[in-house]
Amino acid sequence: MDSYRPPLGDIGFCLAHEVPLARLAAEPALAAADGDTVTGLLEEAGRFAAEVIAPTDRIGDREGARLVDGGVVLPAEFRTAYARYVEAGWGTVQHPEAHGGGGFPLLVATAVKELITSANMAFSLGPLLTTGAVHLLTHHGSDDQRARWLPRMVTGEWTGTMNLTEPQAGSDLGAVTARAEPVGDGGYRIFGQKIYITYGDHDLAEQVVHLVLARLPDAPPGTKGISLFIVPKRMVGPDGALGEANDVRVVSIEHKLGIHASPTCVMAYGEGGDGAWAELVGAPHDGMRQMFTMMNDARLGVGLQGLAVAERAVQRAEAYARDRTQGRAVGTPPGTQSPIVAHPDVRRTLLEARAQIDAMRALCYANAHALDLAQHAGEADERARQQALADLLTPLSKAWCTDLGVELTSEALQVFGGMGYVEETGVAQQFRDARIAPIYEGTNGIQAIDLVGRKLPMEDGGLVARVLDGLVADLDAAPDAVADLVPPVIGAADLARDLAAELLAMRDDPRDALAGATPYLRVLATVVATALVVRGVVAAERARAAGEEVDAGLLAARTARARVLVRRVLPRVHGLAAAVRAGADDLYAEGTPAA
């Protein structure tokens, strides 16, 4: 029950048929990502995740992170696993070869991250933030900064953090008050406190490179007055050697519902009096724009957490349902004790969960695929179209997948019955771990506001229609074996397209559109993800008809789950339409808590 089985068959199916890796390998910059190479890479990543990282999951939950003598200490098993992670080069997969990276597409790195996150979500958070920091500095750092900081961050020898939140500045980053004072050598000194800093301190690596938002003395108010700074835990000499400690201190670590071994730190900068040495990234007052590069990378990574934790929890539930006997299944002799998987409602629970995991994977991978093409497609128009697609999919990936992560880990726990509520079975940890994902990296309500307020108006309000029309077009002339899956997708896509137009038309009071934002996000995400799954089985059936080699057993299983998705999950979007259209009057009526 504790073992983790890498879902390599499902990942391979997704990369072959739902979100084609071959499309990326056709671009010269990504030609190394051929199918055989990626298959071998993912097989090894799965083995590493299952054998090296997964055994640390329960240990980390029990022991957690501890603050000892002013520094954070993680379980010894984490230090061993992380050293092997760095030695094997898993952190380098998606980064440019110029900085020591593997040069693989983000799509491939996303599959690797899924495996590692399923194995141990708390462990995966350190690499997630480091990858985001590398991504930011790759795009916004100077040549000198990239040369000095990136090589050892790419390998994971040094880790990175994101320092945004302060006690008075959570989602409203315009309220940030940490200050940066210029000094004569071209550097800066940072003063202030940051909270909720993931892996703000730890003993896995010698150096932590903090990316900190702060205000210069001449900063205008609000988000337009925020600058971004590199603040290392330890000073670095001209030869690259680590020197004395910077004026950076971990004040405390939070005691949390889940992800116990991911240290969530309160960080103090400049408490020693002279300030924490820092260097400016890019231009003054441009910090929010730069930080969004990291935040959007992290939002896809957090969406992936919903998928990955649900995968681990549902694996546990499937194994338990096969082993646990209780009651007599329909059609069995009196006195029989049947495995609970034989009961229709347990099968419904497991198959709906598994079908939605397929959909979550397709959505997250499609998001990564779009980001790859936005950077590497040969035509400028195609890069722009793919960037717009990625912009649309990011709030869907983050919000829908993390909401489902909580729901599906809860369903997995339910399969265990009372034993699910007992920590020894392990599934309760996944439920606790999953709950943070809808909150951090922009709450899911903010993702819905972003979708309705910023993404629906793109392309003169036509982006959603373009994306849905493209997905539906891929289903034309579906083979007979799966043709029944197409009409419900077309009908749901029509609804999602109509609702988008109605939200855009709610101009008299913006609160009306915002009141429908969260249900609409679920509608659009469900439709897009279901269309991707159906596109996959349609493409696989076409490939089989053309004489290509397709695993018949896997295709049969995926088609059965696609039917569950289309018949049992997709219809729910029609029930959400009234909530999308309801407007805000009821929310502000006299006598409501908000009034």
Catalytic residues: 441
What is the SS3 assignment for 194? strand
Distance CA 570, CA 529 (A): 10
Q: Which residues sit opposite 230 in a β-bridge?
A: 211, 279
Residue 238 CB-density burial (10 A; 0-12 exposed, 13-18 middle, 19+ buried): exposed
Amino acid at 583: G
From the list 507, 403, 384, 365, the residue with the least C-alpha distance to 13 is 365
Assigned token pair, 8: 């390599």
From the list 328, 309, 318, 324, the residue with the least C-alpha distance to 419 is 324
Q: What is the DSSP string of 327-388?
A: S--TTSPTT---BGGGSHHHHHHHHHHHHHHHHHHHHHHHHHHHHHHHHH-SSHHHHHHHHH
Which residues have CB under 8 Å from 139's CB, separation 6+? 290, 293
Chain centre distance of CA 270: 33
Q: Which stretches within 435-551 are classed as H helix? A: 444-450, 463-473, 486-504, 510-515, 517-545
Assigned token pair, 75: 């379980």
Which bin fits 589, alpha (ψ -120 to 50), beta or left (φ > 0)?
Answer: beta
Do β-strands 179-182 and 188-198 pair in parallel, antiparallel, or remain unpaired?
antiparallel
